[in-house]
Structure 1
Amino acid sequence: MENQEKLASSSDGTKLAYIEVGTGPALVITHGSLAGKDQWEPAVQELSGDVTCYVYDRRGRGSSGDSPSYSMQTEMDDLAAILQIAGEGATILGHSYGALCVLEYALKSKGHHPIIAFEPPLAVDEPVAGEPWVEYRNAIEAGNNDDALRLGLRSFVRASDAEVEAMANSSSWPSLLEIAPTWVRELREIDALGSGASRYAPLVERSTAVLVGTATSPFLLKSAEALIDAVPSIHPVSMPGLNHFAHVFDPVGFAGHVRHAMGIE
């Protein structure tokens, strides 16, 4: 991104790097695991004509700092720091694990920010991480990030062997290896939320949309369906032919779905 990087401070003093791009209604973007704000550059550029995007590196990656302690609460505190800058009327878009952070924030905050959850990984039939989490953690602690990441993609993302190999041979693999350790703590927080989507029922009083691609994994489709069933007031936005990385591979189409979710036609 060409826009100048800025710094915000979370409640514990951790510095969060963010970029403000575009004009129009504010949209705060909380990225998922194994990612950073740069992954959102294509979609942000497409949105920037109608939306002011605030995209930040979640703690522990990119230009943001970190702290010895970590929990879902620290993620919510970080999000609150960016929202202070974006303003009370900002919409919050969360992707994958970032969507879980946004949903938890919506449950526990006093604000009234509209929410857009892009394919949150809910534990519907079984834990998202489960027993393979221990093997993943052990591999990370032993410094075997490559083995850990391959295991994680198969076990947690439910990627096929062919998909894992394609990712391992891509130019993004080195950067994924670098931030692979952060997945240990995030997976722990996901499973700590428990099973099902009933915890999100109180969001019936809040403006909430769910983005889900028709070509995404069965696991994520089930997650979206469970959330929609739990919160009858949710606005489901189906993205034909798109998947969990629609913002990367079809930024134009994805941006159109985000505008629709925000009520910008």
Structure 2
Amino acid sequence: MTEVTSSKGMAVSKILSSDGVAIAYDRVGQGPPLILVGGAFSYRAFPGLVELAELLSQHFTVINYDRRGRGDSGDTTPYAVEREVDDLDALIRHVGGAASVWGLSSGAVLALRAAAHGLAINRLALYEPPFVVGDSRRPPADHQAQLTRLVAAGRRSAAAKYFMRRVSGVPAVFMVGLPFLPLWSRFKAVAHTLPYDAAVMGDYSLPAGQLSLVTVPTLVIAGERSSTVLRQAAQEVANAVPNARHRSLEGQNHNVSMKALAPVLVEYFKV
């Protein structure tokens, strides 16, 4: 572990991944280690992740980290999903060699891929891994290439809009005012990593063969008010992972309330 000073003059804890990239993280609380894996647009200073880390810190040693390319973490090219798995492995080794893991959206899929790869994960919890099952609308086949092109051209705002509208399926009416909200600057700050989330997701098909390799206890959570496709995907993941169960979270959607989520995670992880 190293400690360096950020551009804002604050100390930042970092570890080196296997390829030498420095991964920044915050550690709060005491107890068994629990690592949080954010999804698209997420990074460790994002308000929701900060809130969840604080809520869980009463029971666990919570590691909230910047995925590579985000916040205070480093990056290198070319990107590979395997490098993000290595990052998570480095964090697990750093906190004692084994840890529980929670993942959000595409971060949940990254956590699944890490578990299938055999990382020392004790228990796994996932919130709405966004696979597309059945006949539901799929992202354009070239979505990763389109995101990469927009990012390469320095068009982060356009990349964020493309991801939300064409990949995530956010209705056009909700997109009109988004760029004018304070939250949009946070989205733009990490929009250059959207091709990474696209790589994690692939073609958004459910990788049943890979999921069958996940042997750790797994909880798959979906919001009761989320879209049909997200709720179906959560159920299908729970069906495909050998030691998994499904839970619906009352009154929630993809933008989950951390105050509603935290008690479920405490109950599940505190064994």
Partner of 2:19, secondary structure, is coil
* Aligned AA (1:33): A
Out of 231-240 and 127-136, give the one that drifted further. Answer: 127-136
Name the CA shift for 1:227/1:206 in 2 (closer, same or farther; >3 Å).
Answer: same
1:225 maps onto 2:235 in alignment: yes
What is the Cα deviation at residue 28 of structure 1? 0.6
* Aligned AA (1:86): V
What is the Cα deviation at residue 127 of structure 1? 4.6
Identity in percent? 25
Unpaired stretches in structure 1, ≥5 consecutive residues = none
- The residue number in structure 2 matching 1:80 is 89
- The residue number in structure 2 matching 1:182 is 193
- The residue number in structure 2 matching 1:107 is 116
Higher helix share: 1
What is the Cα deviation at residue 129 of structure 1? 4.9
Partner of 1:152, secondary structure, is helix
- The residue number in structure 2 matching 1:168 is 179
1:20 maps onto 2:27 in alignment: yes
Name the CA shift for 1:225/1:157 in 2 (closer, same or farther; >3 Å).
Answer: same
1:142 maps onto 2:149 in alignment: no
Name the CA shift for 1:127/1:113 in 2 (closer, same or farther; >3 Å).
Answer: farther
Q: Which string of whole-angstrom CA distances, capped at 9 and with x for unpartnered residues, describes residues 49-74 of structure 1?
A: 11210011000010000011211100
Give the CA RMSD over aligned residues: 2.1
CA distance in structure 2 between the aligned counterparts of 1:89 and 1:10, rounded to whole angstroms: 16
Partner of 1:28, secondary structure, is strand
> Does the 8 Å CA contact 1:34/1:180 hold for their aligned counterparts?
yes
- The residue number in structure 1 matching 2:255 is 245
* Aligned AA (2:69): G
What is the Cα deviation at residue 135 of structure 1? 3.6
- The residue number in structure 2 matching 1:52 is 61
CA distance in structure 2 between the aligned counterparts of 1:197 and 1:152, rounded to whole angstroms: 22
What's the TM-score once normalised by structure 2's chain length?
Answer: 0.86
Partner of 1:245, secondary structure, is coil
Equivalent of residue 116 in structure 1, options 125, 130, 153: 125
CA distance in structure 2 between the aligned counterparts of 1:257 and 1:60, rounded to whole angstroms: 30
> Does the 8 Å CA contact 2:92/2:98 hold for their aligned counterparts?
no
What's the TM-score once normalised by structure 1's chain length?
Answer: 0.88
CA distance in structure 2 between the aligned counterparts of 1:66 and 1:167, rounded to whole angstroms: 28
CA distance in structure 2 between the aligned counterparts of 1:218 and 1:232, rounded to whole angstroms: 23
CA distance in structure 2 between the aligned counterparts of 1:128 and 1:226, rounded to whole angstroms: 19
* Aligned AA (1:98): G
Unpaired stretches in structure 2, ≥5 consecutive residues = 1-9
